């Protein structure tokens, strides 16, 4: 009878392995203090997942933060170590908080299971472990993790699309509108400087009129890439509309902003813009207006307005220059 039961169990596992694989193989981290159970669980999980094994909970946390696991199985069989500590650490780290945790618990440890569920452990299974159950519960978690990953990625992608300018890949005006106030409020609260620069390509209409709209687009893309090369990581660069761009520079004094703007002006002027469509290289210049946050009290709108007025002056006083 025992033999038959074992055979049935083995067949059951193989069936599961064959017909019930997750669409992609799962990545499982098995944290288990005992070599004998490590071996047994590994054999059951192998057909459905890539399995990494460790008996050291601290190493487990490290590994989980480094790799992309779909499931962490924590076997509560450590001498003198509370496995819920690892579970709670996994839940609190940014890089591991979405990984499902399957706890393997001792019979009669109801209290521990309740605490585990409270701190965010996803599921549990009792010892002695029924391997079919282990595989079934693991598969459920791996599938759900894959679904959640896809969902998160597509939400992320949707957000990216909504805040990105298609043509240049810079942020768009919607993003600027929603972030400028936040950045100026934060600078004011912390007593930090903040400057912005508005730049507009000179006589851009001529590019379109002479070489066509596609050539104009090419100039916009190249211009954006020079903007990108000019700004720091903390700066926010966006296409404000048409051939107008805005750079928000936190922690930047008026003097520093003038240097950045002048650097961008030179970067545009000093090297021609290649237009493959027209097989030509164009000289392009831009005018720039800068303004800085007034510490005594200011608004995002007023700041933008002052930069825009400065830009207008740059245009009126001959273009290809920076006005503060």
- Binding positions for ligand GH3, rule: CB under 6 A: 167, 200-205, 208, 213, 216-217, 220, 242-243, 315, 319
Catalytic member of 50, 218, 243, 255? 243
- Which partner from the list Mg ion, ligand GH3, none does 208 bind, CB cut-off 5 to 8 Å by kind? ligand GH3
Count helices and strands in the chain by DSSP H and E runs: 11, 12
- Listing DSSP states for 104-146 in one string gives EE-TT-HHHHHHHHHTT--EEEESSPPHHHHHHHHHHHHHHHH
- Listing DSSP states for 60-100 in one string gives HHHHHHHS--SEEEEE---TT--HHHHHHHHHHSTTTTTS-
User: Is 243 considered catalytic here?
Assistant: yes
Assess contact for 256 and 181: CB atoms under 8 A. no
Window 230-269: contact mask with Mg ion (x via CB under 5 A) = ------------xxx-------------------------
Q: Could you say which DSSP state residue 283 is in?
A: -
Nearer Cβ to ligand GH3 (117/167): 167
Output the CA torsion sign for 218, 219, 220, 223: positive
Radius of gyration for the chain, computed over Cα atoms and rounded to the nearest angstrom: 30
Window 192-211: contact mask with Mg ion (x via CB under 5 A) = --------xx--x-------
* Closest residue to ligand GH3 using C-beta atoms: 216
The contacts of residue 300 (CB under 8 Å, 6+ apart) are 180, 181, 184
Nearer Cβ to ligand GH3 (69/204): 204
Nearer Cβ to Mg ion (29/201): 201
We find the least distance from the C-beta atom of residue 41 to ligand GH3, in angstroms, to be: 58
We find the least distance from the C-beta atom of residue 254 to ligand GH3, in angstroms, to be: 24
Task: Give contact residues for Mg ion (rule: CB under 5 A).
Answer: 200-201, 204, 242-244
Which residues are designated catalytic? 243
């Amino acid at each position: 009878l025992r033999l038959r039961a074992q055979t049935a169990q083995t067949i059951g596992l193989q069936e599961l392995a064959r017909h019930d694989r997750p669409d992609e193989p799962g990545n499982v981290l098995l944290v288990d203090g005992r070599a004998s159970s490590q071996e047994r669980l590994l054999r059951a999980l192998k057909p459905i997942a890539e399995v990494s094994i460790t008996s050291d909970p601290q190493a487990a946390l490290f590994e989980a933060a480094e790799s992309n696991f779909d499931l962490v199985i924590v076997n509560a069989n450590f001498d003198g170590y509370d496995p819920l500590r690892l579970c709670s650490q996994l839940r609190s780290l940014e890089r591991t908080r979405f990984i499902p945790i399957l706890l393997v618990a001792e019979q009669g440890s109801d209290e521990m299971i309740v605490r585990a569920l409270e701190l965010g452990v996803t599921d549990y299974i009792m010892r002695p472990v029924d391997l079919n159950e282990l595989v079934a519960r693991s598969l459920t978690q791996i599938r759900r993790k894959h679904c959640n990953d896809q969902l998160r990625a597509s939400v992320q992608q949707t957000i990216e699309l909504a805040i990105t300018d298609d043509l240049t890949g810079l942020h768009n005006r919607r993003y600027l509108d929603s972030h400028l106030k936040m950045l100026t409020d934060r600078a004011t609260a912390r007593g930090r400087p903040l400057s912005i620069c508005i730049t507009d390509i000179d006589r851009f209409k001529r590019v379109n009129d002479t070489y066509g709209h596609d050539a104009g687009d090419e100039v916009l893309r190249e211009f954006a890439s020079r903007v990108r090369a000019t700004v720091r990581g903390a700066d926010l660069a966006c296409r404000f509309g048409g051939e107008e761009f805005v750079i928000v520079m936190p922690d930047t004094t008026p003097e520093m902003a003038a240097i950045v703007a002048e650097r961008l002006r030179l970067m545009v002027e000093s090297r021609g813009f290649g237009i493959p469509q027209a097989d030509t290289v164009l000289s392009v210049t831009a005018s720039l207006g800068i303004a800085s946050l007034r510490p005594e009290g200011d608004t995002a709108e007023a700041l933008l307005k002052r930069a825009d007025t400065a830009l207008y002056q740059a245009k009126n006083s001959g273009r290809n220059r920076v006005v503060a």
